[in-house]
Amino acid sequence: MPLKSLRFLLPLVAVAVAVAVACEPAAEPAEFADQVFDTVDATADTLPGDATATGDPSTTMAGTWALATDWSACVAVADARFELRSYKILRVQIEQSGHQLHETRTLCSATSTQLLGQATVFPTALLQAVGPLQVDATVIASGASTAYESSAEIQLYGVKLNQPFADPMPDHAGDPQVFDTDGDGKPGATLLIGKLCQIYVAIRAVSSLQGMWVGPGRFEGAGLHDVDQITLGGSSAFCEQAFPTYPNQPHSGFALQRVDQGGLDLDADKDGDVSCAEIVSAQAKIVTWKKADDSRCKGF
C-alpha cells in the first residue's frame, strides 16, 4: 500500500527535531495575547505559582490540574482551505520544588472538528493504551505576574522509537518500529473517521507551552506544536487520503486549570482524587473550544 504522510510543520523551541519548511504562508495576527516573560532570578526567593495567584504564601502548584489544548491547522483540499481544530484534555499531576515543576500528564480525550464532513476521533481503547507523559516545567513569579513554560512533550501512537525526538518515522506497516498500540490487530494506532471508516497511523506529536497566570489556579497561553503522521492503511480509500496541512499557530492556545481543592474542585464523588472522567465531564467549566472558521486560513 503506498505511503501517505501528513505533516503539521511548526518549529519547536529547544527540541531536537529537524523540520523542513518551504514557502510557509505568512502568519496572521495572533488571536491569543502575546506572552511576556519577565527577566527574573530563578534562584531568588520570589514565591512561584499560585502563591502569587492566591496571595497565600503557603499555596503551591502541587496537586491535580487539567490541561486543555486547542490547536489550529489549515488543510488544503484542491483550491479550498479549511481550518481543522484538534482538541485534547489531559489530567496533570504536578510535583513542585521551588520554581521547578514535574508533571505527569494523562491523555483523557482527543478529537477534532470535521473535515469533509467527518471528525477524527481517538477511541477509548487507544486513550487507555497510551501511557502517562513525563514533562518538566518552570513557573516564575515576578511582582503580580506569574509565567509558566513547559519543556517539550512528546507522544507516540502506533510506533516505538529508541530516540523519540530524532529517529525517523517508519515508512510502511511492516516496519519493526510500528506498534499495535491499541491491540486491535491493525498496524499502528487506529483512529475513527466519524462513523465512516478507520485509519491506521503512526504518529509523533511534540509540543511545548508558554503562558501566564490569569486568575487563581489558572494559566492560559499559546504553544508550539508539531505532528508527524504516517498513514499505514485504512478500512476504505477515503480514510487513506492525505491533504497538505499547515500549522496555524496564531489561533492556537491552551488552558491549565487546577481542579482539586484550592482550584476548580471537580472531585464529584469526593474520593479525594480527580479522575479523567470527572475532568472530561466538566470540560465546559475548564475551556470553551473554539469553533472551526475557514476564514482563519486565508493566505494558506
DSSP result, 231-273: EEEESSTGGG----EEE-GGG-EEEEEE-STTSS---TT-SS-
pLDDT at 146: 87
User: What would the pLDDT profile of 115-129 be if each residue is shown by its tens digit?
Assistant: 888 888 888 888 888
**Percent of the chain scoring above 70 in pLDDT:** 80
In a domain, 299, yes or no: no
106 confidence band (pLDDT: 50, 70, 90): very high
**How many CA atoms, within 13 angstroms, populate the side-chain half-sphere of residue 249?**
20
In a domain, 298, yes or no: no
In a domain, 197, yes or no: yes
In a domain, 278, yes or no: yes
In a domain, 196, yes or no: yes
In a domain, 178, yes or no: yes
Burial (0-12, 13-18, 19+ Cβ within 10 Å), 90:
buried
The mean pLDDT of 38-61, rounded to a whole number, is 41
| 142 has pLDDT over 80 | no
In a domain, 27, yes or no: no
The mean pLDDT of 26-42, rounded to a whole number, is 35
In a domain, 133, yes or no: yes
pLDDT at 34: 35
pLDDT at 23: 30
Least-confidence region, from 101-115, 130-144, 270-284: 130-144
User: What would the pLDDT profile of 166-185 be if each residue is shown by its tens digit?
Assistant: 999 998 999 999 999 999 99
Q: How many domains does the chain have?
A: 1
Structural domain harbouring 64: 4-16+36-287
